[in-house]
Structure 1
């Protein structure tokens, strides 16, 4: 049985997205869906949109094998709710598969079940999460993260990606693919959430590390390691890496890769320059390495983007 944990001012899609995935996947597998919405106080629970879901209380959760925790504007208040945190800890002790969507990771972290584990959350919450839960190994650029039986996903729609991956584990890849097709979604989305974050207005980066990113953009043919960037910023490597993630929502290496991808994409689409030459001059060195980076970011190799640009 799937449990969906909600609270006042939860984000509706955080709950509705995974519910739809599990419902369709279960039906495609030949079984009947078994999904319960849960809350500390049973009854109608109002989302940030004003739409309500009717929830059951925690006492009706004995058969749950997977618990998905929603996020939303009310997450900070519910992360201080002892009843909810005790419930989540109890689920973890029972070996229930736990998952969070978006800022729902704060509830798992506050319950202590993410200590020493990898996790992710919405990029806008990265700085707050790092400051609040230093014992969690935050992966700020991931769409979703699995660490053992605990899963976490990035902002809102990423909960659907997470649920599709869970469906693949439960029912097989074929059912997950059919579920994605029915929802008119990618089975596996390319790229990380940094492609959506405010950092990646990189043509004119601002903030504390804006000058550093501008410098890096002008030196893409250099290695640009974390050590190189830290030296340029006048900081120790360890302090720089953590401060950079807190400021931008992504790692230095991911930011450099994205700078390279953006410059390379512009040159691929706007010129007839050889792909090998573009890869060399933007720091990828190897065309195959650049091809893999393009597929992660855009879902297409450089040649396909060039053909599409010319056709357009």
Structure 2
């Protein structure tokens, strides 16, 4: 049985996205598909932040529970202070249940101690507060979703769909996951390694503190773009710049530049027959092998695979 844990002022898509994934996958999987239940501390109608309500069962111990997905939303910090909710999540993990969070639902997992010493992610907008509140968590702030053992965490809202599809692939195989993605009219199934940082760049430009710098860097990807060079451009010492940049964006300058390079490189790879070596040179990777490794980190596939997929599409 799959449990979707909600609370007052939850984000409705955090729940509805995974529910839809498991529902559709269940049709393809047939009798092997598990039941889906919405659960909450108080049984009955639970009002989301949008005003839409979901009918939930109470948090009774359920030995049949195999997966527990904790949603996020405006009410997550109140829910994270609930002893009943935290005890339920801890008990599920102790029983060997696969436990996951969508978006800020990671706060509940962290409060329960499930993320201590583990790799995890959450919505990029929560990065600074999350890092200060839970320093024991190995936060990977720019990932779509992260799996560390039996604990899964995902980024903002729609990333819960990606996480659920990955679970479907694990449970029923890639074929059913791909059929489910097509039924949902998704262009492709994003890997956990794909970054949410491109969205961060869009939101930080042009109003963010480093928006202008990132826009400039995007136009000069063929240059080295070292931390020293970026710091000089920003009018800061290298040490202060690195700290300030990481605090604001949730990622290091070097990772941000790699994301810029890989996003521009991907567009060129998918849109033309330009030689991979030329793309690597023009986007600052220099070495095609270095670009290939960056693509695998970001998209889970090498450049040639993305080009073939684009042509097939």
TM-score by length of 2: 0.81
**Cα displacement (A) at 1:21:** 0.9
Task: Please say which of residues 129-138 and 53-62 is displaced more in the overlay.
Answer: 53-62
**Cα displacement (A) at 1:220:** 3.8
Contact kept? 1:141, 1:251, Cα under 8 Å: no
- Structure 1: how far apart are the matches of 2:289 and 2:62? 50
Equivalence map 1:195-206=2 (5 Å) = 195-197=198-200, 199-200=201-202
- Structure 2: how far apart are the matches of 1:246 and 1:225? 18
* Change in 2 beyond 3 A, CA 1:281/1:80: same
Contact kept? 2:276, 2:288, Cα under 8 Å: yes
Matched, 1:15 2:15: yes
**Cα displacement (A) at 1:87:** 1.1
Contact kept? 1:71, 1:101, Cα under 8 Å: yes
Contact kept? 2:37, 2:57, Cα under 8 Å: yes
**Cα displacement (A) at 1:52:** 0.7
Match of 1:193 in 2: 196
**Cα displacement (A) at 1:200:** 3.6
**Cα displacement (A) at 1:248:** 1.1
SS of corresponding position for 2:99: strand
- Structure 2: how far apart are the matches of 1:36 and 1:3? 5
**Cα displacement (A) at 1:218:** 7.0
Aligned length: 302
SS of corresponding position for 1:50: coil
Match of 1:234 in 2: 237
Structure 1 unaligned residues grouped into runs of 5+ = none
- Structure 2: how far apart are the matches of 1:279 and 1:221? 9
* Change in 2 beyond 3 A, CA 1:225/1:137: farther
* Change in 2 beyond 3 A, CA 1:240/1:98: farther
- Structure 2: how far apart are the matches of 1:65 and 1:270? 43
* Change in 2 beyond 3 A, CA 1:50/1:225: same
**Cα displacement (A) at 1:25:** 1.2
- Structure 1: how far apart are the matches of 2:8 and 2:186? 29
**Cα displacement (A) at 1:111:** 1.0
Contact kept? 2:25, 2:180, Cα under 8 Å: yes
TM-score by length of 1: 0.82
**Cα displacement (A) at 1:272:** 11
**Cα displacement (A) at 1:268:** 8.8
**Cα displacement (A) at 1:20:** 1.1
Over the residues paired in the alignment, what is the CA RMSD in angstroms?
3.5
Contact kept? 1:276, 1:287, Cα under 8 Å: yes
